[in-house]
Amino acid sequence: MGGARVSRLFGRPALGPLACLAMAALLAQLTALALGSVSLGPGELLDVLAGGGEALHRTLVLELRLPRALAAFGTGALLALAGALMQILLRNPLADPYVLGLSGGASVAALLAMLAGLGATLVGGAAFAGALASTLIVFGLAHGGGSWTPTRLLLTGVVMASGWGAMITFLLAVSPVERLPGMLYWLMGDLAYAGSPWPVLATAAAGLAVVLPLGRTLNVLARGGLQAAALGVAVRPLEWTLYLLASFITAMAVTTAGSVGFVGLMVPHMLRLRLGNDQRLILPASLLAGGTLLTLADTLARTLIAPQQLPVGVITALIGVPTFLYLLQRSQR
């Protein structure tokens, strides 16, 4: 069954898959709100959401769980969107938001802030600054030679990433033991200190608004730079736009939750196996599916061995790897 695609966007909006994903996102949010140290039944949850319910439940759901669930959704959405954009930019389905060293720069800055004993907000700010610094360094180095190709950008980024990797290991090695758990959680991705969900949600909405009109152009770019140029795409400006946009939204995600792995690589890839590669469908679908995956993963991370919490990055990999392998198997039939 070669043509097992769910739907095709051309001609009419592919509302089917997007409606399913939106429904899944909503269910994931409700699940995240209901589960925890005190679990609520559907009736109790509805009471709270309708403005009633017990005071304890109201505090739990509206003040503790809702911001975190929304932050998880926004972060996952950003990572998946950034991954989809990086894959098109580098014409490589195996690219992820961190492939150009962005998370490395963020991590080094965040670990330094932790070593200095700064609070969560300042650690987030340091991560954002580190991510942007790394982006600008890679941008400058790849741009410098004049002739520029996705391969050159990829190589520059990968080399920078391994440099950051060494610095991370160095920082871990010289850090006092009592700080190590916090650092390791940050490196694996952790939503416990996410703070307000609105920055990531707003960035996700703005990011989608910027890339959706570019959808068909990105479809053409996916066929290669020369082919895209021959079909009227101004390739170079588009590529820099993609790079800076993907970097910025990744930096926002990393600032909120540390470097959560897997979502940015696998979500767009999984969706492509089912939905094809029309960016006008894949980009919004990635946003919804990435948000859903991270919401569920974070719910598991804080309930699986409660009261202890796991780094959410561990869960995304544990859910994602078998799901991905299963889809890959099926698509090869």
Partner 1 sequence: MTGPAAKGPEGKGLAATGLEARGLVIDVPGRPDGRALDLAIEPGQRWGVLGPNGAGKTTLLHTLAGLRPPRAGEVSLDGTPLARRRRRELARHLGVVFQERHDDFPATVRETALIGRHPFLSPWRQEGPEDYARAEAALERLELSHLAERELATLSGGERQRVSLATVLTQAPRFWLADEPTNHLDLHHQVAIMTLLAEQAERGRGVIMCLHDLNLAARWCSHLLLLYPDGEACWGPAEAMLAPDALERLYDQTLTCVEVDGALVFVPRKSVCAR
The reply to whether 151 sits near partner 1 by the rule CB under 8 A is no
| Tokens at 133, concatenated | 């610094």
Which lies closer to partner 1 via its Cβ, residue 166 or residue 223? 223
The reply to whether 43 sits near partner 1 by the rule CB under 8 A is no
Out of 147, 213, 308, 332, name the contact with partner 1 by CB under 8 A: 213
User: Which residue in 190, 200, 197 sits closest to 313, CA to CA?
Assistant: 190
The reply to whether 153 sits near partner 1 by the rule CB under 8 A is no
Out of 203, 278, 288, 290, name the contact with partner 1 by CB under 8 A: 278
Which lies closer to partner 1 via its Cβ, residue 57 or residue 216? 216
Q: Which of residues 90-109 bind partner 1 (CB under 8 A)?
A: 91-93
23 Cβ contact partners less than 8 Å away, ≥ 6 residues apart: none
- CA dist 190 and 287 (Å) reads 19
206 Cβ contact partners less than 8 Å away, ≥ 6 residues apart: none
Tell me the window of 157-165, 217-225, 255-263, 321-329 that interacts with partner 1 (CB under 8 A): 217-225
Provide long-range contacts, Cβ within 8 A and 24+ apart, for 321-328. Answer: 321/262, 323/270, 324/266, 324/269, 324/270, 327/270, 327/273, 327/274, 328/273
Out of 23, 166, 205, 231, name the contact with partner 1 by CB under 8 A: 231
Smallest distance from partner 1 to CB 220, Å: 5
Out of 69, 106, 214, 252, name the contact with partner 1 by CB under 8 A: 214
User: Which residue in 271, 231, 283, 324 sits closest to 86, CA to CA?
Assistant: 283
Smallest distance from partner 1 to CB 294, Å: 24
Which lies closer to partner 1 via its Cβ, residue 93 or residue 119? 93
Measured in degrees and rounded to the nearest 5, phi and psi for residue 189 equal 95, 125
The reply to whether 232 sits near partner 1 by the rule CB under 8 A is yes
What are the residues binding partner 1 (CB under 8 A)? 2-3, 8-12, 87, 91-93, 213-214, 216-217, 219-220, 222-224, 226-227, 229-234, 272-273, 276-278
